[in-house]
Amino acid sequence: MAALHHLRQYHPLCIAVSKLHTSSHASAKQHYKMLVLGGGSGGITMSARMKRLMGAENVAVVEPSEVHYYQPLWTLVGAGAKSVALSSRPTASVIPSGVKWVKSKVQEVNPDKNTVYTDDGSQISYEYLIVALGLQLHYEKIKGLPEGFEHPKIGSNYSFETVEKTWKALQNFKEGNAVFTFPNTPVKCAGAPQKIMYLSDAFLRKTGRRAQAKVIYNTSLPVLFGIKKYADSLWDIVKRRDLQVNLRQNLIEVRADKKEAVFENLDKPGETKVIEVTVLCNFISL
């Protein structure tokens, strides 16, 4: 917050200030007052804010992808409320006007020299740096994935390629266990697994199939939600909707051919439980 307050002291028209380089920047091919790593929702949002603070010519975004995905929309795609096509658009169309788009991958960050090195050999120096590179998907850390995605009733809302499978599985659901999971790893959005569970519950009620469904939420966390105030409210919702929540349960294997999911009890390492599944969604390792 102190750094952001300091940035506000720069008027967008203070171009002369942005061109005062120190000797450590002399060998760099490019220099920006603010450098943003990552062109996802976080990086684009911050680059737009920094543009307003210090002027577009002083801001650059490093992002290699030609396509930008608005990933928060994918929960609604998985629930059938939005089309997956709406979540993507050309990266060039979301970069704030006037902000420099460096179309490269970050190879190295040297904070001692205020320099970023990219995969094309470029050096970019900066005065301020925002890292918004996001997370990488590693489905292979769960046994049985990613090959398990070939099964029609297994999907994940964390991927453009698999999110529509969630909706198709819900549409074709007749009876059985609808299982939603929260992994024992960092995640892009900690609320996403619960959101799709609540939306799926609402869809099954609307279509008259809720009585034939057992909705299960297996989370690796020891709590339903990290903030107690909200967790208390969510527990009330869970009870009211008859949703089964199992804490400290981590998905370690998917047996697509047998329609089974294997969970480990994190409080008792080595102890596992096999659950028969009809729909399995949102398992992910990052």
Overall average pLDDT of the 273-277 stretch? 96
Q: What is the pLDDT of residue 215?
A: 97
Whether 127 shows a pLDDT value over 70: the answer reads: yes
CA distance 222 to 266: 9
| Residue in this structure with the two tokens 């009330």, named with its chain if needed | 236
Q: Encode pLDDT of 153-200 as tens digits.
A: 999 999 999 999 999 999 999 999 999 999 999 888 889 999 999 999
- The C-alpha angle with vertex 266 and arms to 265 and 271, in degrees rounded to 5, equals 35
Whether 118 shows a pLDDT value over 60: the answer reads: yes
Beta-bridged to residue 117, according to DSSP, are 108, 123
Q: What is the pLDDT of residue 158?
A: 93
CATH class given for the domain over 139-281: alpha beta
Same fold, 30-131 and 139-281: yes
Whether 3 shows a pLDDT value over 90: the answer reads: no
Residues ≥6 apart with Cβ < 8 Å to 195: 75
3 state DSSP class of 32: strand
8 A C-beta contact, residue 38 and residue 134: yes
Whether 260 shows a pLDDT value over 70: the answer reads: yes
**What CATH code would you report for 30-131?**
3.50.50.60
Confidence of residue 149 (pLDDT cuts 50, 70, 90): very high
Confidence of residue 241 (pLDDT cuts 50, 70, 90): very high
Q: Encode pLDDT of 28-48 as tens digits.
A: 589 999 999 999 999 999 999
Q: What is the pLDDT of residue 4?
A: 53
Residues ≥6 apart with Cβ < 8 Å to 228: none
Segments making up each domain of the chain, as ranges: 30-131, 139-281
Q: What is the pLDDT of residue 1?
A: 52
Q: What is the pLDDT of residue 23?
A: 35
Q: What is the pLDDT of residue 11?
A: 41
Higher pLDDT, 59 or 285: 59
- The C-alpha angle with vertex 174 and arms to 172 and 180, in degrees rounded to 5, equals 75
Overall average pLDDT of the 42-62 stretch? 98
Burial class (CB in 10 A: 0-12, 13-18, 19+), 186: exposed
Higher pLDDT, 20 or 63: 63
Confidence of residue 8 (pLDDT cuts 50, 70, 90): low
Q: What is the pLDDT of residue 57?
A: 98
Q: What is the pLDDT of residue 187?
A: 87
8 A C-beta contact, residue 200 and residue 239: no
- The C-alpha angle with vertex 156 and arms to 152 and 158, in degrees rounded to 5, equals 150
Helical spans, DSSP H, in 55-96? 74-78, 91-94
Our measurement of the distance from residue 56's CA atom to the centroid of its chain's CA atoms, rounded to an integer in Å, reads: 27
Q: What is the pLDDT of residue 285?
A: 47
In the chain, the amino acid numbered 209 is R
Confidence of residue 284 (pLDDT cuts 50, 70, 90): low
Token pair listed for 155: 């999907």
Overall average pLDDT of the 103-115 stretch? 97
Helical spans, DSSP H, in the chain? 2-7, 15-18, 41-54, 74-78, 91-94, 163-171, 192-206, 228-240
- Looking at the chain, the whole-number percentage of residues with pLDDT higher than 70 is 89
CA distance 225 to 246: 13
